Amino acid sequence: MNNETDLLLRAILTDVLGLKPGQTDGFTDETGLFGHLPELDSMAVAGLLTEMEDRLDIVIEDDDIDGEMLEAYGSLLAFAQQKRDGP
């Protein structure tokens, strides 16, 4: 999957994690996020979700957030795509 949501989500992660442009190109569905990257603590995840809301034009509820969705790049992307596609 290399669509608009994918590109936007990579750009958001680049900004939040302070990566160099292009560094997220190597992210695959299995790339670990929350629990794998020490800098991605709860405050940083909260910031990540806020950026996702702003830039992907979605609303994320408390109930949407679970460990599984945040665990790897693939699950976060699937969540973002599902939110953008609507119910």
Residues in the interface with other proteins (CB under 8 A) total: 22
If one asks whether residue 81 binds other proteins (CB under 8 A), the answer comes out as no
The answer to whether residue 43 forms part of the interface with other proteins (CB under 8 A) is: yes
* CB distance 60 to 83 below 8 Å: yes
Q: How many Cα atoms within 13 Å fall on the side-chain side of residue 2?
A: 5
Residues 45-64 that bind other proteins (CB under 8 A): 45-51, 62
Residues 2-41, one symbol each (x = binds other proteins by CB under 8 A, - = not), give ------------xxxxx------------------x-xxx
The backbone torsions φ and ψ at residue 32, rounded to the nearest 5 degrees and listed phi first, read: -75, 140
Q: Which residue, 30 or 37, is less far from other proteins as judged by CB?
A: 37
The DSSP secondary-structure symbol of 20 reads: P
Task: List 32's β-bridge partners, or say none.
Answer: 72
Largest CA distance in the chain: 35
| Footprint on this chain of other proteins (rule: CB under 8 A) | 14-18, 37, 39-51, 62, 65, 67
